[in-house]
Amino acid sequence: MSTFETKLLASEEVAERTMAFHFAKPSGFEYAAGQAIDLELSGAQAGAAAGMRHAFSLVSAPFQPELTIATRMRDSAYKRALGSLPIGAGATIDGPFGSLGLPEDRARPAVFIAGGIGITPFVSMLRQAERDSLSQPLILVYSNRRPEDAPFLGELQEMARRNANFRLVATMTQMNRSRVPWAGETGPIGEELLKRALGDLRAPMYYVVGPPALVEAMQATLQFAGVAPERIATEEFYGYG
């Protein structure tokens, strides 16, 4: 990995208790869609978190002029410092790293399964796929508690409307606690939902990112449904904590 200096350009809320942070893209920094970085805060504005590092999957795609991360704003020294960074504050990037990336077998449909903030590497990959006009069928199965908790849901819905090669299957597990209407799927991701959305589960290549419990459950569900283990790719998600 290489080290680069950057600065904060902007921040915004992308879901309840979830923020996106946009950093300057350093000269010479190159990465593949789906990869991650270590972000080290520095200076007095970082307070107790100065010198602390945290790994984040990049939301931005390689063609975009900025580097964007998104994270749940938990009550930790690092997240408090990150949330209070002023525009123009400096930070250090190490990276990129991670092997999650767009599928190489373009003849086989690819299914992305994401839980909550685990969506971030898939947003990068889907933005790049649309930019490159990939003809490969891409399906995203995206689980959240409520629409209010779903980062980038609006962008993904718009992407699905304009891109015939991309389909979004979003499901909510706690709509009884939601303040907004929802006409889509409800309940956890399971074999029944996947069969209803995908048909023959054995055909695609699967990429699973999210909380460890979701990843383990999806691996078991897919293998029980007859999906060969080599067609299920998982990677540690960078961004929790």
Stretch 148-158: mean pLDDT, rounded?
97
- Does 87 share its domain with 154? no
pLDDT bucket at 210, cuts 50 / 70 / 90 = confident
Asked whether the beta carbons of 25 and 65 are under 8 A apart, the reply is: yes
Asked whether the beta carbons of 123 and 31 are under 8 A apart, the reply is: no
Stretch 20-30: mean pLDDT, rounded?
97
Q: How many CB atoms lie within 10 A of CB 28?
A: 7
pLDDT at 96: 96
Strand locations in 28-106 (E): 36-41, 53-57, 66-72, 90-97
Q: How many CB atoms lie within 10 A of CB 15?
A: 21
| Adjacent-strand bridge partners of 13 | 19
Q: How many CB atoms lie within 10 A of CB 3?
A: 11
Stretch 4-24: mean pLDDT, rounded?
97
pLDDT bucket at 237, cuts 50 / 70 / 90 = low
pLDDT at 214: 83
Rounded CA separation 10/104 (Å): 34
Greater confidence (240 vs 190) lies with 190
- Does 115 share its domain with 86? no
Stretch 27-44: mean pLDDT, rounded?
91
- Does 133 share its domain with 71? no
Burial 204-234 (b: 16+ CB within 10 A, else e): bbbbbbbeeebbebbbebbeeeebeeebbbb
Q: pLDDT at residue 218 above 70?
A: yes
Tokens 């007095």 belong to 44
- Does 79 share its domain with 122? no
- Does 92 share its domain with 114? no
Does 105 map to a domain?
Answer: no
Structural domain span for residue 62:
2-97
- Does 89 share its domain with 153? no
Rounded CA separation 83/233 (Å): 32
- Does 218 share its domain with 144? yes
Q: pLDDT at residue 240 above 60?
A: no
| C-alpha of 117 from chain center | 6
Does 239 map to a domain?
Answer: no
Q: Which residues contact 195 (CB under 8 A, 6 or more apart)?
A: 201, 225
The number of folded domains in the chain is 2
Greater confidence (237 vs 37) lies with 37
pLDDT in tens, 69-102: 999 998 889 999 999 999 999 999 999 998 888 8
Does 24 map to a domain?
Answer: yes
Stretch 47-53: mean pLDDT, rounded?
73
- Does 119 share its domain with 164? yes
- Does 122 share its domain with 183? yes
